[in-house]
Structure 1
């Protein structure tokens, strides 16, 4: 990201215009609330070289939420997802863009920050910043009193914005995601069974269909796939209205049930909190059964499938797999997973496990023999 100097005045009016310049279709209620909270908590931000967008220092937001200064860096940043000892599927993805500034980019940002806010950032080696959507998404996560202030709009405003972003960019819908996942799983030994039909005992004469199911010796995992950011309403509609867990208990008696929501676009605060409440009251809600509800990023599920394919296929096929992921599975596979596969291929070439084929057009070249002359 290249940042240059803009006006030293960062009013809320300028904040609103900077965001509208990059996202003209954004929900106006998000802007009004973000401007209000930026003013109340004295949050600093900068725009890019064209006066567009609004970048916040993520550690400042951690403090504003009443959390430890490194909460974002340790638990929410893209780097945290790759280095944290916590299981990958317990970490959520936040919409918007996050940038770790170092070197010249950090130096430029420091100059810009001082010009726009009149404050020096001092001597620091790196800094996490997020655009307005990433910053807002982080602010609405959590359960502290300050965090609750940041999510007073509930899930509707932020989800509206994200849905518009999805519709304008990828047009990805659940059937498309499922189609990619079905094809990817077919190359693996992972035991996913898709579109599992069950009798709906709560509505005689009708049935329901689970997106996919995984039956293991001690637990049955039922998956619900969403293309958008998972909302509280999504969770309630699935568990309360459709009664999917009760149906799973009927379908698989004497089995532990794990109901897993998944999406490539993450989960919002309300949905996360509601899932926690369901788990806390699981014994009362589902007496006599062992039930757990969770959320796993779709990219984590596909990485598991890809790892299974890699572990059960020769190294020579990994380059083919990488090309296929890049061309046909862009909606379900993260760039980080592709980068890891690319690194393993590069290492295989370096260690000699893979040998690059010479470009000979299938013509065998024989060494030229020196001619011998007779006297």
Structure 2
């Protein structure tokens, strides 16, 4: 098995420290914080037990290209209530102002773990990993753009987009239901014998078999992480199993999530594609990522194109009231609503006057009890 760009020792240490205190941490936060720490040479400190990751907030201000007092003046818990200008938001995570004995202890840990001294300071603001990350991705200045484009939507308090969180089985059921109304042939929970582990089986979330290519989909409910990609392709060997199950076919392996993809995962997928001929000799392979909303929009378009306009209002109400917001964006529903409005305006959904040629359906009355 070919290993591609294994995580650095520093990234492993940071990941371990954070997962020790927050084992269910969102993978996007973890992946991007590791990248930011590496690229900008940010220093952090874990506690005596090797847990958590605390950053000096003034150092993060400088890394963003701002004045070192930016965090203290505009984002710290003490100063923020005094600020009346701008559209500042609260930051998740925890922040601490260290003084006296607590500061002295932090200085010792900082020098032990980073090999440099913080110097003679009387107080210091530090933030845990989540507070540090959320501060890095905030801000409207040009200097902060690098941090703004890193998937900040996944931060706990910033997860207010119109796609609600759900577990993978719920997402799959909703996609299955939409596929059932469409003419698109998706097969769900396709099993295959795991030839690498005797007696074991693997399952692809859903498969689409086309004349020239077989598409296999791996559905994740959270942001697709580098670990997800590495586990699926290299540990579970899903592509090798697909080439055995569908010999002679080109394979497109598609990762999908309603919560997007981390930078690290995107980079790993690109590297896999660049080395596909070496990793999977004799098989035409492409690995990609698409938003789950893109899949459901394709299904919805197929359904609507094959349905009379009179059914669109019913379908819109179904999408709005039956839990499809975990996989269908509000924009998709709005587009459907606009077609309904247009249909009313052009008269296609206006009831025509009765004529002698119109057959009236009888009104069913309840039977009388003798």
- Shorter-chain-normalised TM-score: which range? 0.5 to 0.7
Match of 1:263 in 2: 257
Aligned residue among 207, 217, 221 for 1:223? 217
Greater radius of gyration (CA): 2
Cα gap change, 1:352 to 1:58, in 2 (>3 Å):
farther
- Cα separation, 1, equivalents of 2:218 and 2:308: 32
CA apart distance, 1:23: 3.2
Gapped regions of structure 1 (runs ≥ 5): 1-8, 39-53, 66-134, 142-157, 363-375
Give per-residue Cα distances to partners, 1:141-184, cap 9 Å, x unaligned. 7xxxxxxxxxxxxxxxx798459959xx9551101100111111
- Cα separation, 1, equivalents of 2:94 and 2:179: 37
Matches within 5 A, 1:143-158: none
Gapped regions of structure 2 (runs ≥ 5): 1-67, 81-87, 96-126, 354-359, 361-370
Aligned residue among 279, 286, 305 for 1:311? 305
Cα gap change, 1:332 to 1:33, in 2 (>3 Å):
closer
The question of 1:280 aligning with 2:274 is answered yes
Matches within 5 A, 1:1-375: 11-13=70-72, 14-17=74-77, 21=90, 23=92, 28-32=128-132, 35=135, 56-57=139-140, 61-62=144-145, 65=146, 136=148, 138=149, 140=150, 161-162=155-156, 170=164, 172-328=166-322, 329-355=324-350
- On the 8 A contact 2:219/2:256 being kept in 1, the answer is yes
Deviation >6 Å, runs of 4+: none
- On the 8 A contact 1:322/1:341 being kept in 2, the answer is yes
Cα RMSD between the aligned structures?
A: 3.3
- Cα separation, 2, equivalents of 1:242 and 1:261: 14
* TM-score normalised per structure 1: 0.59
CA apart distance, 1:32: 2.7
Cα gap change, 1:160 to 1:320, in 2 (>3 Å):
closer
Aligned length: 245
Cα gap change, 1:202 to 1:159, in 2 (>3 Å):
farther
Match of 1:120 in 2: none
- On the 8 A contact 2:319/2:333 being kept in 1, the answer is yes
CA apart distance, 1:265: 0.3
- On the 8 A contact 1:225/1:263 being kept in 2, the answer is yes
CA apart distance, 1:311: 0.5
CA apart distance, 1:357: 8.5
CA apart distance, 1:20: 8.2
Cα gap change, 1:163 to 1:200, in 2 (>3 Å):
farther
CA apart distance, 1:350: 0.9
Give per-residue Cα distances to partners, 1:94-143, cap 9 Å, x unaligned. xxxxxxxxxxxxxxxxxxxxxxxxxxxxxxxxxxxxxxxxx64x1x37xx
- On the 8 A contact 1:25/1:164 being kept in 2, the answer is no
After TM superposition, the structure 1 stretch with the greater mean CA deviation from structure 2, 20-29 or 342-351, is: 20-29
* TM-score normalised per structure 2: 0.60
- Cα separation, 2, equivalents of 1:237 and 1:163: 29
Cα gap change, 1:336 to 1:20, in 2 (>3 Å):
closer
- On the 8 A contact 2:185/2:208 being kept in 1, the answer is yes
- Cα separation, 2, equivalents of 1:203 and 1:223: 22
- Cα separation, 2, equivalents of 1:256 and 1:182: 24
SS at match of 1:296: strand
